[in-house]
Amino acid sequence: MPMPLNNKHVHFLDETFCEPFNAKFVEQIYRATDSICAEMRECINVDGNDLVRAANMMKKTITRDKLISWVETLNCILDGHVVPLLEKAVEMQSENQKLKDEKIKDQETIISLQNKLVEKKDEEISSMKSTVQTELKSYSSALSQSCKAALAPRKIEAAVKRVSDKEDRSRNVIIYGMKEESGEDLNQ
């Protein structure tokens, strides 16, 4: 819709509007709307936009041309800018919800895969535990059998006897340069 000509309120609005959406467009709409509403409040002599009512606008000072100009400007703001902006907001909300749903689905997939990984690790640990227990029992069995044979009383007695039969030379001391005496006891 073409903008009204010679209208001081619509100069706030940019004709290349809504692609891509940004906060600048909201500011433009706010300033244009505030401009037209300020003029209307001033003409009907009220303080707030909530007081811009038909009863206040039926004054003889407000001409038909003035009302037509306001309606034309408000229509331009609404139809040319507010409605497209709301449509973009709805599209963005829809896209945002779609992305949230995809993120939730991806997170559920990640959790499921992590649970499967934990289950596999538990299976591996269980298998490894079983193998270690089996091998430990086999090793323990082999060790106990060899220890029984090695620690048999006869073998211990024979080893002690062999050691005690050998001459204990750890107490012998040799002193070089000293003469032996004839009455020395060498067996101590």
Amino acid (one-letter) located at 21:
F
Contacts for 24 with CB less than 8 Å, ≥ 6 apart: 14
Distances (CA, A) of 8 to 23, 74, 181: 22, 12, 140
Please report, in tens digits, the pLDDT of each residue of the chain (188 residues total).
454 445 676 666 766 555 666 788 888 888 888 888 898 898 888 888 888 888 888 888 888 888 888 888 888 888 878 888 888 888 889 999 999 999 999 999 999 999 999 999 999 888 888 888 788 777 777 777 666 666 667 777 777 777 666 666 666 667 777 777 777 776 65
- pTM confidence score: 0.48
